[in-house]
């Protein structure tokens, strides 16, 4: 899947883009900014402000797939996660194998 860009409408975000071989880049964005994630690169969006974060991801595909980094690491053998990321046993134990569904207020 190819992500063309991320458009921030409201709030402040930190977006980390994961490339191959332990390379990652982190960028901070504010409302009105546009970011780009190259094809097949994983990414993580974090709200770093005190208000609601609203953003739109635009893909060049009719199929959307969401992969949770938390879930992905939880399903990876703990020895590998510990060896590569130097995470503590306590942190690894807090990873969730089931991805939580995010639902906004008033949508239930």
40 with 59, same domain: the answer is yes
- Do 57 and 72 share a domain, yes or no? no
6 and 59 share one domain: yes
Q: Structural domain tally of the chain?
A: 2
DSSP3 helix / strand / coil % (the chain, rounded to 5): 20, 35, 50
CA 1 to chain centre: 15
What are the tens digits of pLDDT across the range 15-54?
998 887 778 899 999 999 999 888 778 888 999 999 999 9
Rounded Cα gap, residues 55 and 32, in angstroms: 10
pLDDT at 101 over 80: no
Domain match, 92 and 72 both: yes
Same-domain status, 40 and 87: no
Cβ partners under 8 Å of residue 101, min gap 6 = none
pTM > 0.75: yes or no: no
- Catalytic residue list: 57
**Domain contains 107:** no
CB-hemisphere CA count at 13 Å for 83?
Answer: 5
Query: Is position 33 within any domain?
Result: yes
CB 66 within 8 A of CB 51: no
Q: Is 89 a member of any domain?
A: yes
Q: What pLDDT score does 66 carry?
A: 75
Residue 19's domain spans which residues?
A: 1-64
Q: Nearest 5 degrees, angle CA 12-CA 16-CA 39? A: 120
> Would residue 9 count as lying in a domain?
yes
For 49-76, what is each residue's pLDDT tens digit? 999 999 988 887 777 777 788 898 999 9
Residue 104 lies inside a defined structural domain of this protein: no
Are the C-beta atoms of residues 53 and 78 closer than 8 Å to each other? no
Distance CA 50, CA 63 (A): 32
């Amino acid at each position: 899947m190819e992500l063309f860009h991320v458009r921030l409408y409201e709030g402040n975000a930190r977006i980390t883009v994961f490339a191959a071989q332990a390379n990652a880049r982190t960028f901070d964005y504010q409302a009105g900014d546009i970011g780009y994630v190259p094809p097949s690169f994983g990414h993580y969006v974090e709200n770093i402000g005190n208000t609601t974060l609203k953003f739109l991801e635009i893909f060049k595909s009719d199929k959307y797939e969401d992969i949770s980094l938390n879930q992905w690491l939880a399903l990876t053998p703990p020895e590998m996660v510990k060896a590569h990321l130097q995470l503590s046993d306590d942190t690894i134990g807090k990873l969730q194998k089931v991805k939580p569904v995010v639902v906004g207020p008033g949508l239930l």
